[in-house]
C-alpha cells in the first residue's frame, strides 16, 4: 500500500477486460490522417482495481467488480474496509462498479485494470448520467407542439387536455407530463474510440458523451 492509501501496483500487471470506466473532462477537436477536424470527448482514466470476482456458482452470474479512488478512514464503514482489504485498499473506495464478463486469464484480487483494454478504432457503448435540468414543462421536456403563438389563443406553452371521456375517465399510464428533465442513465451506442493515450491516461471518443464534467462514464465493447 502506498502513502496515499492507493493499492501498490508494482507487482501487478495491467488486466485487459472488454471495457473500462473513465471520468469526463470535456470536449476538444483533433485532426485525423486526412486532415479532417473530429470533435471528441476527453475522458480521464484513473486506476481501477479488481475487488471481487463473481461466478455463476457463487453469485448466479459472471462479472468483475472494480474499485477506484480510496476514501478516508472516517468516511469508510467496517463493511467497506473488510470487503476491499483483499483488493489492497486500506479503507473504502469512492467508486465500486462491475463489468459483466467471465474472468480472463490472470485475473486476481488487486489486479489493476489496464487502459489498453480498449484500443483505437474500437466501437463501444457509452453509458453515463445525463445532466439534470430541473423541473420543465412538457413543451421543453417532451418537445410537444403547444398551441398557436398568436395573441388571444390563451394556449401557448401549456400541456393541454390530458384526460379522456367518461370512459375510461382517467389519465392513461405513460402520459407525457411536466417534470424532472435529465439526470437519468443514458446509453449511446456505436461510439468510436479515436485515441488511447496510455502515457497521459486519456481516452478520446468521437462525438459528445452524456453527463457533466467529472461524470463517471462506462465504456463497453460491442
CATH number of the domain enclosing 210: 2.40.30.10
3-state secondary structure of 108: coil
Strands (E), 72-184: 93-99, 123-129, 132-136, 179-182
> In this predicted model, which residue has the larger pLDDT, 150 or 108?
108
* Domain enclosing residue 137, as ranges: 132-182
If asked whether residues 36 and 124 sit together in one domain, one would say yes
Within a domain: 176: yes
Same domain for 207 and 111: yes
Per-residue confidence (pLDDT) for residue 155, from 0 to 100:
84
Q: Are 140 and 98 part of one and the same domain?
A: no
The answer to whether residue 5 is domain-embedded is: no
Is 1 a member of any domain? no
Q: Are 110 and 25 members of one domain? A: yes
Q: Name the grid cell of 149.
A: 403563438
| Dihedral angle sign, alpha carbons of residues 117, 119, 122, 125 | positive
| One domain for residues 173 and 194 | no
Indicate whether 2 belongs to any domain. no
CA atoms 190, 143, 215, 180: torsion sign: negative
User: What average pLDDT does this structure show over 162-182?
Assistant: 92
Asked, for residue 96, whether it belongs to a domain, the answer is: yes
212, 211, 207, 203: which is closest to 21 by C-alpha?
A: 203
> Do 45 and 145 lie in a common domain?
no
**12 occurs within a structural domain:** no
Cα(155)–Cα(147) distance, rounded to whole angstroms? 5
Task: Give Cα separations from 96 to 51, 168, 200 (angstroms).
Answer: 8, 47, 23
- The pTM score is 0.85
Question: Nearest CA to 55 among 17, 106, 103?
Answer: 103
Average pLDDT, the chain: 91
Q: Which of 121, 126, 123 is nearest to 33 (CA)?
A: 121
pLDDT tens readout for residues 138-160: 999 999 888 888 888 888 888 88
Would you state the cell numbers that stand for residue 87, as one nine-digit string?
A: 483488493
Given this model, what pLDDT does residue 161 score? 83
Looking at residues 89-97, what average pLDDT do you find?
96
Q: Is the domain of 137 the same as that of 158?
A: yes
Residue range 179-222, pLDDT digits in tens? 999 999 999 999 999 999 999 999 999 999 999 999 999 999 98
Amino acid at each position: 500500500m502506498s502513502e496515499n492509501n492507493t493499492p501498490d501496483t508494482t507487482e501487478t500487471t495491467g488486466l485487459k477486460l472488454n471495457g473500462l470506466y473513465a471520468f469526463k473532462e470535456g470536449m476538444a477537436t483533433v485532426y485525423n490522417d486526412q486532415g479532417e477536424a473530429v470533435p471528441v470527448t476527453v475522458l480521464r482514466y484513473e486506476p481501477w482495481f479488481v475487488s471481487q470476482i463473481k461466478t455463476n456458482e457463487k453469485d448466479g452470474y459472471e462479472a468483475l467488480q472494480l474499485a477506484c479512488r480510496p476514501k478516508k478512514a472516517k468516511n469508510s464503514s467496517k463493511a467497506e474496509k473488510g470487503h476491499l482489504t483483499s483488493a489492497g485498499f486500506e479503507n473504502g473506495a469512492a467508486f465500486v462498479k462491475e463489468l459483466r464478463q467471465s474472468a480472463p486469464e490472470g485475473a486476481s484480487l488487486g489486479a489493476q485494470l489496464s487502459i489498453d483494454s480498449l484500443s483505437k478504432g474500437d466501437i463501444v457503448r457509452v453509458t453515463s448520467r445525463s445532466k439534470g435540468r430541473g423541473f420543465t414543462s412538457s413543451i421543453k421536456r417532451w418537445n410537444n407542439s403547444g398551441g398557436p403563438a398568436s395573441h388571444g389563443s390563451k394556449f401557448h406553452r401549456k400541456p393541454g387536455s390530458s384526460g379522456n371521456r367518461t370512459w375510461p375517465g382517467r389519465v392513461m399510464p405513460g402520459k407525457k407530463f411536466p417534470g424532472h428533465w435529465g439526470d437519468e442513465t443514458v446509453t449511446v451506442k456505436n461510439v468510436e474510440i479515436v485515441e488511447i493515450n496510455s502515457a497521459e491516461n486519456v481516452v478520446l471518443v468521437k462525438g459528445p458523451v452524456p453527463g457533466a464534467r467529472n461524470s463517471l462514464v462506462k465504456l463497453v465493447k460491442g
